[in-house]
Amino acid sequence: MINRAVVRDGKPHPPRSIAELEILPGVAEAIQSLKARGFLLVVVSNQPDVARGTQLRETVESMNRHLGSALGIEHFRVCYHDDGDNCHCRKPKPGLVTDAAKLLGIDLSGSVLVGDRWRDISAGKAAGCGTIWIDRGYRERRPEDFDFRAESLLEASRWILARDAHIKQETT
């Protein structure tokens, strides 16, 4: 959704290194427009390959620093667990989202979680956020309930900005 996934057998996988990390077209514009309107952007990400021993935590953190620097994203919350760990932070559980909200003073009822997998959408719903599903055509379970379907982060950002403008008009 921010960076191009490596798709194998129809399923997305994270890049293995900064050399493989490719920011998708329109992402910088989307992020800049949201930040210009005062939105706080937080990336919440499952990274189970660390628990599985196929990725180093330092590599994930390095890629996040690179994305943060390139795009102006200041807040990253990452779950390094696998499903079997049964932690509170691994999406579809809402722990990453609710922890970020507590730490940063975010009102989740006015927030939107944008994601490209069913786990993202389920976590957002469980946390009380609006949700936007970016449909990448992955061959995996699709989310069951979301507020808007988009094909890119740029399209999602335009929907968020239009929704925000409409809400502001209604309250004035």
> How many angstroms separate the first and last alpha carbons of the chain?
34
Residue 168: the pLDDT is 72
Please give the average per-residue pLDDT across 1-9, as a whole number: 93
Residue 166: the pLDDT is 76
CA distances from 49 to 53, 59, 83, 103, 156 (A): 6, 11, 11, 26, 28
What is the average pLDDT score of the chain? 95
State the pTM of this model. 0.94
Residue 169: the pLDDT is 72
CA atoms of 69 and 111, how far apart (whole Å): 23
Residue 119: the pLDDT is 97
CA atoms of 98 and 33, how far apart (whole Å): 24
pLDDT-above-90 percentage for the chain: 93
Task: Report whether pLDDT(167) > 90.
Answer: no
Residue 172: the pLDDT is 63
Task: Report whether pLDDT(101) > 70.
Answer: yes
Q: Each residue of 19-49: pLDDT tens digit? A: 999 999 999 999 999 999 999 999 999 999 9
Give all domains of the chain, ordered by start, each with its CATH number.
Answer: 6-136+143-171 (3.40.50.1000)
Q: Each residue of 121-165: pLDDT tens digit? A: 999 999 999 999 999 999 999 999 999 999 999 999 999 999 888
